[in-house]
Amino acid sequence: MKVLFVNPPQTASKYKFMGVIAPPLGIAYMAGVLQENNIDVEILDASAEDMDFKDVEKELLKIKPDLVALTALTPTIGRALETAQVVKETLPDSIVVMGGYHPTFNFIETLEDENVDIVIRGEGEYIMLNLVQALENQSSLHDVKGIVFEDKNSKEIVVNPEAPLIQDLDELPFPALNLLPMKKYRLLDMDTHMTTMITTRGCPMQCSFCSSAAMHGKKIRERSVENIVDEIEYLKTNYDIDTIAFMDDTFTLKKRKVMAICDEILKRNIEIMWGCTSRVDTLDEKLLKKMKEAGCITIFIGVESADQQQLDNMCKNTTIAKIENAFKIAHKLKIRTIASVALGMPGDTKEIMNKTVKFVHKLKPNYAIYSLATPYPGTRFYKEAFEKNLIKIKDWSKYTLITPILETIDCSLNDMRKIQAKAFMKFYLRPHYIIRQFLQDGPYLLKTIFGVIKTALSKTPKNTDYNKRELKNI
């Protein structure tokens, strides 16, 4: 059986407007497991390759896969389903499988599409392997945990039991980057050879807007220090990678582990630049000094709000003082910071949001992302917003963090879009900011500013045909 993973064509992605194009790590991991088991597999990253559906059709005719596996987040589910239609029209006898965050939590809705044969729920590496082997052996799909499908005889939807989470992450092969267009991936539009890595799965934190715990569990599972640094060496040797973005929910969650990773990088004399996600309550000067010594150049920090009550409502388990201190230390050590905030969470007002925008200026991050509160399926935020009838937009393609989905106490959807655009403009068009940041990042900064301003001034896209049905409480 020949398997083709497809990252669907996308007009926009979460941070593409800031010059960030990252490899699809999830399907690369699944492809790696299939490769390890001698299954013929390829990956088509149509998003990174800037392909349209005609291009996808040509690749399908060239590769002629028996099974096409598509990945989808909430804002890209429409494009994924359009791709599924292209697959079925081009190769009618092929099997179409859909996985990712959105299909995991909306599996019935996803399977209702006539072009989708099977949905994978949860971590897909071994589910996909078991599925392919079952299809090759013509054995019963009822025995494959973690999938949803329509029984051909009864025409009923079968929801198999969930597959267990992968406990030993070291047993997974490294992602199959040999199947990806590695030269296409960028970080802030910089001319660098970059990729992403993940060192843990699961998250014990309870942030209301994050679906990670629902997908990967509340208990954190870790790769060993040796396995992590082995991959860094592998990336440098085989792909000439000089920059890595660690995509863990909170890379710095366990300080001792981070210190050990840094020590091992230094012990092996690996010259690598890297960035990571973090929480302010996990940072201190000792840790940041060690991280910088080992190559850390950027930290992505979720600030979310300048209002303590709002932080408590989001279950951030932090304080304004801790946020200020973390940025102060990073600034002192000259580590680049990216501050991310969520505008328009339930309880937000114009006054609170303006306070948050000013607070971000005070923190002096190198970059800022002003996201609009977006309730993704699988999160407590979605459940509460649904139950309180706060969701005003039912088209999944709008769930991009740029289009307003909720109204607040004193802000309409149109008001929310204006507040976000103003926040971006006020941050990135400050003369002293441009001069300061240009001295550090040079012309790449101008590309980033252009992308941000273009997005800030863009009009809200017109309605798409997908998902004008009623939302469900998932």
pLDDT for the residue numbered 469 = 45
Whether 123 and 191 map to the same domain: the answer is no
Q: How many domains is the chain partitioned into structurally?
A: 2
Whether 212 and 143 map to the same domain: the answer is no
Whether 29 and 67 map to the same domain: the answer is yes
Is residue 310 in some structural domain? yes
Tens digits of residue pLDDT in 31-90: 999 999 999 999 999 999 999 999 999 999 999 999 999 999 999 999 999 999 999 999
pLDDT for the residue numbered 316 = 86
Whether 127 and 205 map to the same domain: the answer is no
Query: Looking at residue 213, which CATH number applies to its domain?
Result: 3.80.30.20
Whether 138 and 203 map to the same domain: the answer is no
Is residue 463 in some structural domain? no
Q: Which H, E and C letters describe the chain, residue by residue?
A: CEEEEEECCCCCCCCHHHCCECCCHHHHHHHHHHHHCCCEEEEEECCCCCCCHHHHHHHHHHHCCCEEEEECCHHHHHHHHHHHHHHHHHCCCCEEEEECHHHHHCHHHHHCCCCCCEEECCCCHHHHHHHHHHHHHCCCHHHCCCEEEECCCCCCEEECCCCCCCCCHHHCCCCCHHHCCHHHCECCCCCCCEEEECCEECCCCCCCCCCHHHHHCCCCEECCHHHHHHHHHHHHHHHCCCEEEECCCCCCCCHHHHHHHHHHHHHCCCCCEEEEEECHHHCCHHHHHHHHHCCEEEEEEEEECCCHHHHHHCCCCCCHHHHHHHHHHHHHCCCEEEEEEEECCCCCCHHHHHHHHHHHHHHCCCEEEEEECCCCCCCHHHHHHHHCCCECCCCHHHCCCCCCCECECCECHHHHHHHHHHHHHHHHCCHHHHHHHHHHHCHHHHHHHHHHHHHHHCCCCCCCCCCCCCCCCC
Whether 237 and 378 map to the same domain: the answer is yes
pLDDT for the residue numbered 84 = 97
pLDDT for the residue numbered 79 = 94
pLDDT for the residue numbered 465 = 45
Whether 48 and 150 map to the same domain: the answer is yes
Which residues, given as ranges, of the chain have pLDDT below 70? 11-19, 188-191, 459-474
Tens digits of residue pLDDT in 355-395: 999 999 999 999 999 999 999 998 888 988 888 888 999 89
Is residue 61 in some structural domain? yes
pLDDT for the residue numbered 460 = 58
